[in-house]
Amino acid sequence: MLHFNMEYYFTPDNLINKNSDLLEISGEEFRHIKKSLRKTKGDILEVTNGNYELYKCVIDEIKSDRLICKILQKMNCDTEPDVKVNLLLCLLRNMQRFEFAIEKCVELGVFSITPVISQRTLSQNEPGKSKSERIKMIIKSAMCQSQRCYMPELKNTIKLKDIPEPKSDLMTNIVMYEFEDCTKKFPENKLKEVNLLIGPEGGFTEEEISYLKNKRWLSASLGVRKFRAETAAIISTYKLINQI
């Protein structure tokens, strides 16, 4: 159930006391609520733990470093898509474009994000701790903005050669390849879980596509247009989640 007049806020499980019906909001989320939004005692908030739970609560006390909120109601959170899309996105030269793709794909409903290093990835090093923390903040913000109750996991960076085969018949692996036959599109059967792989600037090499196909990855095209990597990620995610 969506609540269009409310922005969602986040607090981790360890700050939710279900026995006393209290939760705390601290850190950057607290500063945003207090200083930017100027919320006061008695204001109503909708807070998620990022693990499918949503709480309607009222600000009971404002301390110097956190909010104390009284839980009024545990609410239904049925906004997650029927298909789980795990986005495997090759690192891009422009980190802002990489972050933009992640933000929009989280808003659309991806289940997890894995940075990938391929042959044409300019940086062969995984993002450092500060960049990873920034990406996690972007994921959290996009989750709250789009009124989701699940926080997509940012997984460790992997090399393309370490990408796994499908775990079961219920999982489909799809790699977007701009030189694929433009009539070869997404599978038409109802999907349950998808690993979606998007290449870097310059795309994948023929050797990489051959390697992936040998691991039972399906290649697909978005048609006659050639898109930037971040655009391809957003369009592909939208199509898979909406099964179109």
Residue 154 within a domain: yes
Q: Which domain holds residue 58?
A: 8-75
CA dihedral 236, 193, 129, 34 (to 10 degrees): 80
Q: Where among 50, 75, 100 does a domain terminate?
A: 75
Same domain, 181 and 207: yes
Closest CA to 75 of 142, 28, 8: 8
Phi, psi of 2 (to 5 degrees): -90, 150
Phi, psi of 172 (to 5 degrees): -120, 135
Residue 14 has a CB neighbour count (10 Å cut-off) of 8
Instruction: Give the residue-averaged pLDDT of 145-155.
Output: 96
CB 214 within 8 A of CB 81: no
Digit-coded pLDDT (tens) for 184-197: 666 666 788 999 99
Which residues have a Cβ under 8 Å from the Cβ of 183 and sit 6 or more positions away? 221
pTM for the structure as a whole: 0.91
Residue 2 within a domain: no
CATH number at residue 224: 3.40.1280.10
Averaged pLDDT of the chain: 91
Report the percent of the chain where pLDDT is more than 90: 75
CATH number at residue 17: 2.40.240.20
